[in-house]
Amino acid sequence: MQRTNIYLFLILAGLLFIIAVVIFWYSHSASTLRAADSDFSLEPSLNILRIEIFSDHDNKEVVMEKDEQGRWILNNRYYANDLAIKQLIDLSGRLRVRQPVSLENRAQVEEMLNNRGVAVIFYVQAYRIHLGDLKLFPYRRAYQSFIVGEDTPDGSSTYMRKAGSQIPFKVHVPALETGIAFLFDPDEKDWRDPVIIDMPRNQISRITIQDFENPDDSYRLIRESTDAFAFYHLNENEKISGLDVDSLRLERFLQSFSNIHYETLLDDQQEQERKKLMFEQPFMEVAVKNRDGMEVSFTAFARTMSEGDDVLAGESTRDPHRFYIRINEEEFALAQYYVFSRILRPLSFFDN
């Protein structure tokens, strides 16, 4: 009888142990799932290398990635606005869940996220071997990925859902009284830096100047070694002969391709004004390529002074202060000569 009691006790203890293990495992798994579903924030110590924001429903996409100098590049064509990216990363580190979307509203929110949501992916620097201070074999990995929807009707939160999750949440930034959908705008213009060229001398690989008003003043300036550049004909693989180069002017020119920025991209009203004021034919085209293969170009068009400019009544004249540029053969911007004049140099400028 005593032995039977011992067996029953052991069986009961075993069952209780199994039940305890199952409860612990289920609780642990459930809490982990909830944490994974509701964790939208970034850790401050992360080294963010790449940010992707894209919207399938309106075919907009921005990809911002750090280059070797630590500068953010937008869609592999433009410099990105560092301040805007800093705000995005800082506020993303403070994202907090206010509450899950209620069951009665979940289907409607899911439909909105699926049809009009914006996908966001943050990539970080990681290492395949990371033991204390030992870090080996670096690689880039996706750290945070989620879908951003519209702001909630009360304007205090934003509907968001982690990639791969089935649970949408109302997410906010504490102390910020508005939703945060504006942070994840996939419109390229909102992330562009007004700076279109910012290349130190040691990064320049090739400069191409095409002078439409004086074609003989066109040229290519090509790096031939660490310190030496040579002048070539625009459409030929042949050096320009008979040019007595002023080395000081050339050196100042090579050091002038920093912080070259436009005044403003044109809105709809300014675009209509441009069509009235811009000269039909360009006067110069400039293209600069760095040693990593990134190339930026712009075409320069003179501008007629408008009625709002300081001009005599009835006089039509070329604006000496502002002109239009077309960046990378795409959109137009208004530019100022005092910013660009140091790189709008014809070949004759360098001849002693």
Rounded to the nearest 5 percent, the helix, strand and coil shares of the chain are 30, 35, 35
217 Cβ contact list (under 8 Å, min separation 6): 209, 211, 346, 347, 348
> Once rounded to an integer, what is the mean pLDDT over residues 141-165?
94
Lowest mean pLDDT among 24-28, 77-81, 105-109: 24-28
- At 28 the pLDDT is 42
pLDDT value at 29 more than 50: no
Among 98, 80, 97, 77, which Cα is nearest to 89's?
Answer: 80
Alpha helices for the chain (secondary structure H): 2-38, 82-92, 103-116, 247-254, 268-277, 337-340
pLDDT band at 32 (very low <50, low <70, confident <90, very high): very low
Would you tell me how many other CB atoms lie within 10 Å of the CB of residue 162? 18
pLDDT in tens, 325-348: 999 998 999 999 999 999 999 999
Angle (CA) 183 184 185, round 5°: 100
Q: What's the average model confidence in pLDDT over 307-323?
A: 69
Residue 30 pLDDT greater than 50, yes or no: no
pLDDT tens-digit series, residues 91-123: 999 999 999 999 999 999 999 999 999 999 999
Mean model confidence pLDDT for the chain: 87
**pLDDT value of position 115:** 94
Q: Taking the complete model, does pTM exceed 0.95, yes or no?
A: no
Banded pLDDT at 132 (limits 50, 70, 90): confident
Strand 60-66: give its sheet, edge to edge: 78-79, 72-74, 60-66, 48-55, 118-131, 134-151, 158-162, 169-172, 96-100
**What are the tens digits of pLDDT across the range 275-304?**
999 999 999 999 999 988 889 999 999 999
Q: What is the pLDDT of residues 33-64, one digit of tens each?
A: 456 788 899 988 889 999 999 998 889 999 99
- Quick check: 86 and 157 in contact, CB under 8 A? no
pLDDT attached to residue 237: 81
Q: Answer whether 287's CB lies under 8 Å from 260's CB.
A: no
As a whole number, mean pLDDT of residues 146-156 equals 94
Find out whether 282 and 299 touch, Cβ atoms under 8 Å: yes
Confidence of residue 8 (pLDDT cuts 50, 70, 90): low
Pairing mode of beta strands 118-131, 134-151: antiparallel
Percent share of the chain, pLDDT over 90: 64
Distance (Å, whole) CA 86 – CA 24: 41
Q: Give the pLDDT of residue 236.
A: 74
% of residues, the chain, pLDDT over 70: 87
